[in-house]
Amino acid sequence: GNSVTQMEGPVTLSEEAFLTINCTYTATGYPSLFWYVQYPGEGLQLLLKATKADDKGSNKGFEATYRKETTSFHLEKGSVQVSDSAVYFCALRESGGYNKLIFGAGTRLAVHP
């Protein structure tokens, strides 16, 4: 079946460091890919998305490129801030059908000043 695999956390960085969180997926067809972020005590929020191969999603300095050849959607940010500390979830939506999302396990990011 379809699945999403993320790098395990926690990821601990100093402020202004470069961030990469790896995400790979297994899916039939042409899924859409997403990154959601969960701040402490809150629900998930959409961070960015890409709907087809080679698309780049970007938001708030974060970006991820849909790589069909490597079935990956790695999240990157050039310079993280303390306020970026959160749990990040990679997800896919199966092509066709309803809006069912399959999430990865989540990666906790802690940024220290």
Q: DSSP letter string over 43-95?
A: -EEEEEEE-STT-EEEETTEEEE-BTTTTB--EEESS--GGG-EEEEEEEE-S
Query: Shortest Cβ distance from residue 15 to other proteins (Å)?
Result: 27
* Cβ nearer to other proteins, comparing 18 with 110: 110
Binding site for other proteins (CB under 8 A): 32, 34, 36, 41-46, 49, 89, 93, 97-106
* Cβ nearer to other proteins, comparing 104 with 111: 104
Q: What is the distance of C-alpha 95 from the center of its chain?
A: 18
**CA gap 22, 78 in Å, rounded:** 15
* Cβ nearer to other proteins, comparing 41 with 113: 41
* Cβ nearer to other proteins, comparing 96 with 113: 96
Contacts of 96 (CB under 8 A, 6+ apart): 29
Query: Shortest Cβ distance from residue 41 to other proteins (Å)?
Result: 7
Query: Shortest Cβ distance from residue 46 to other proteins (Å)?
Result: 4
Q: Which residue in 88, 104, 94 sits closest to 45, CA to CA?
A: 88
Query: Shortest Cβ distance from residue 58 to other proteins (Å)?
Result: 15
